[in-house]
Structure 1
């Protein structure tokens, strides 16, 4: 994983980048604790209530991401980052406060889940734009790899910390710890350079016009458009498979709890490995070829889930988590880097918001569709169908692509974007 600035200085000595890495760890820990604590709290509302809480953490972000992108491109970026992270701390912290005074209601939890989800994905869009400003375009691949590794480290420790806190103090007070993590995140983004507050030149027009300009970038870049549509299909299929994974592994395959937990731990390790290898792999093959190859491998890996019903279940599920974690991580890093590199600076937020919206919407759609169809057809047929959707979607990346009508930034190494086979 190469992490150096344009002058050869290591990114680990580049203060804004180090702050962003710290922010990713704090944000990831806070989100994992919050998600776990809200899920435990929502169990008292029954299966539907718990599912509604989970959906509310994703759907607002999926719907509002395009508007968040417009906002990111039009306001002072550092101020927005500080405001969103501080608001996140206050929103999540309102739960233990309400619990202390005896006024915690189910409606309050639903509002917290929805607002927290919207803030989380607004922050994700803003950070993509911020990274492009603090790191040279030629170093975005290594920077995205390092940020993914930082975020994954928080995802590993966050659930364990959240589980301990829920067990010792209860879910409401675990949410207080999540609020503290978000407060630390706010302090880290507050320390980012004031130069991030310099607003880029904007053309006149309404928010709808601004959205259309972001959409025009996606339409003008055939490879970016192909990656978004392929990623949506891959998320649709893998989302359906993920929704059935625990029930299928525990009930039909009779895996023990420790075996199921091990498969998730292996996935986290594979994700970190993918983040560490993404830079070298993409620089060797090119970003586009890395996206093509890893997307195809990730789609094919989903077939290992239904295959577990025919062979050594535990070993095949481990193989799935390793393969999907490794290839899926490289695929996402390559796709995000390409998106950032071909998008003009003043449009980073809008393009990131549109792409994020499409990719997010397909996950809950796939999960709900997979669950509904499995109740009718059974787990294995639906898992096979989900794997087929994921693989076919990834395979579309290999269809011929016409040349882009908008040239990438001048400092993007052309061999990274479009290497010849």
Structure 2
């Protein structure tokens, strides 16, 4: 069931404004928690590189493994209740760490459990919110809504680490984690204020409750049948595979081989943040003028091509080339993400939004660690530059595959539909 039509501007659309506030609060909570939990492990549990890596892996691994099953859950239960319960549980899970620390009983199993459970809940929320947005704003305003929500998340991603660092510096890791838990509690309150209509069925639900495997196949059938969506998922996997390898080698390559100073390296990362903000601002207008399908194809190529600037930096002009890479990739990848998410939501039938979002998210997340591990392993044998060139080639070829003709003509239909949207 879609919520009653609401033609007010998005900035005056109460449910959408609540989602924007929730995205900012949740993003801040995740950033503060990730930083404070890692610092607690390093400073109080004396974590080495491996233990710190395990915490990061446990944060993201559930998204790759469990997202499809989260999609089944999202399509079967009352959506608003699920979102509220997940954020409230996340507040309790994160809040358990400062309580245990105050009692002097923080242990490695506890830290690992918090990382894994929090990661599971984060990606469950991501799937649920992707399913909720089409029902909140309707299909005609999805492109603009996704752009604004990405901006709200970006604000938290930029400000969250700084806030976490200040909190740890002034009060320690325990109070910082308490603030992270409080941010999740605020998120739960905002989600509770969403319309109760989200707890009604979005489409036909099987009263017999088919087995999870059958339910997953229904979502997979949607992805496989829609050639546009199928190609975007494969192209996104290739882009993430190449980008993951580059991310794994970037710091070592920039410092050891290119001899960049710490301030130069930090500036390149700041350039990526700036590019992300610019991408959020450009995504809506770019998608309106060209259509989401053309925007996805063009930005996929630009993102893949930008990666070649990283190995090119070995030839000279390392600092400006890496700045150009972060700016170009950050801008193109942000527009790509907004446009692809919009097309995915338009392609998924009511009642299958969660499963389609979960399957897509699983594929896109799984390729990042695979690329990182593969890139690091190959670089030890072949050298950084060789692997960086190969990674850029994988990303570019994957994006170029989107330019092959789409027989079913779905791309043209969705593009025309978006072009007519009143934003």
Q: Give the TM-score normalised by structure 1.
A: 0.94
Which of 99, 102, 105 aligns to 2:104? It is 102
Change in 2 beyond 3 A, CA 1:405/1:318: closer
- Matched with 1:272 is 277
Alignment of 1:334 with 2:339, yes or no, is: yes
- Matched with 1:344 is 349
CA distance in 1: counterparts of 2:266 and 2:99, whole angstroms: 33
Alignment of 1:353 with 2:358, yes or no, is: yes
CA distance in 1: counterparts of 2:257 and 2:290, whole angstroms: 40
Q: Secondary structure at the match of 1:45?
A: coil
Which of 55, 75, 81 aligns to 2:83? It is 81
- Matched with 2:93 is 91
Instruction: Indicate conservation of the 8 Å contact 2:140/2:418, yes or no.
Output: no
Which of 172, 189, 208 aligns to 2:213? It is 208
Q: Deviations over 1:321-345 (max 9, x none)?
A: 1101111011111110001011111
Alignment of 1:195 with 2:197, yes or no, is: yes
Which of 142, 154, 157 aligns to 1:155? It is 157
Note the 1:27-38 alignment, pairs <5 A: 27-38=26-37
Change in 2 beyond 3 A, CA 1:16/1:7: closer
The count of residues paired between Structure 1 and Structure 2 equals 411
Instruction: Indicate conservation of the 8 Å contact 2:375/2:387, yes or no.
Output: yes
Alignment of 1:183 with 2:185, yes or no, is: yes
CA distance in 1: counterparts of 2:418 and 2:411, whole angstroms: 16
- Matched with 1:12 is 11
- Matched with 1:231 is 236
Query: Gapped runs of 5+ residues in structure 1?
Result: none
Note the 1:9-408 alignment, pairs <5 A: 9-43=8-42, 44-200=46-202, 201-203=204-206, 204=208, 205-403=210-408
Instruction: Indicate conservation of the 8 Å contact 1:249/1:260, yes or no.
Output: yes
Instruction: Indicate conservation of the 8 Å contact 1:6/1:139, yes or no.
Output: no
Instruction: Indicate conservation of the 8 Å contact 1:220/1:406, yes or no.
Output: no
Change in 2 beyond 3 A, CA 1:236/1:229: same
Instruction: Indicate conservation of the 8 Å contact 2:71/2:356, yes or no.
Output: yes
Q: Deviations over 1:364-403 (max 9, x none)?
A: 1111111222222222111111111111111111122220
Instruction: Indicate conservation of the 8 Å contact 1:6/1:138, yes or no.
Output: no
Q: Deviations over 1:267-289 (max 9, x none)?
A: 11111111111111112111111
Task: Between 303-312 and 151-160, report the one with greater CA deviation.
Answer: 303-312
CA distance in 2: counterparts of 1:213 and 1:407, whole angstroms: 25
CA distance in 2: counterparts of 1:290 and 1:48, whole angstroms: 40
Instruction: Indicate conservation of the 8 Å contact 1:221/1:404, yes or no.
Output: no
CA distance in 2: counterparts of 1:376 and 1:45, whole angstroms: 28
Q: Secondary structure at the match of 2:92?
A: helix
Instruction: Indicate conservation of the 8 Å contact 2:275/2:326, yes or no.
Output: yes
Instruction: Indicate conservation of the 8 Å contact 1:288/1:417, yes or no.
Output: no
Report the Cα offset of residue 251 of structure 1: 2.0
Q: Give the TM-score normalised by structure 2.
A: 0.94
Instruction: Indicate conservation of the 8 Å contact 1:299/1:391, yes or no.
Output: yes
Instruction: Indicate conservation of the 8 Å contact 2:94/2:177, yes or no.
Output: yes
Report the Cα offset of residue 148 of structure 1: 0.3
Query: Gapped runs of 5+ residues in structure 2?
Result: none
Change in 2 beyond 3 A, CA 1:80/1:216: same
Instruction: Indicate conservation of the 8 Å contact 1:215/1:351, yes or no.
Output: yes
Instruction: Indicate conservation of the 8 Å contact 2:291/2:415, yes or no.
Output: no
CA distance in 2: counterparts of 1:379 and 1:35, whole angstroms: 29
CA distance in 2: counterparts of 1:220 and 1:202, whole angstroms: 20
RMSD of aligned residue pairs (Cα, Å): 1.9
Instruction: Indicate conservation of the 8 Å contact 1:220/1:405, yes or no.
Output: no
Change in 2 beyond 3 A, CA 1:179/1:8: same
CA distance in 2: counterparts of 1:145 and 1:307, whole angstroms: 32
Instruction: Indicate conservation of the 8 Å contact 2:235/2:402, yes or no.
Output: yes
Report the Cα offset of residue 193 of structure 1: 0.7
CA distance in 1: counterparts of 2:117 and 2:271, whole angstroms: 32
CA distance in 2: counterparts of 1:406 and 1:344, whole angstroms: 16
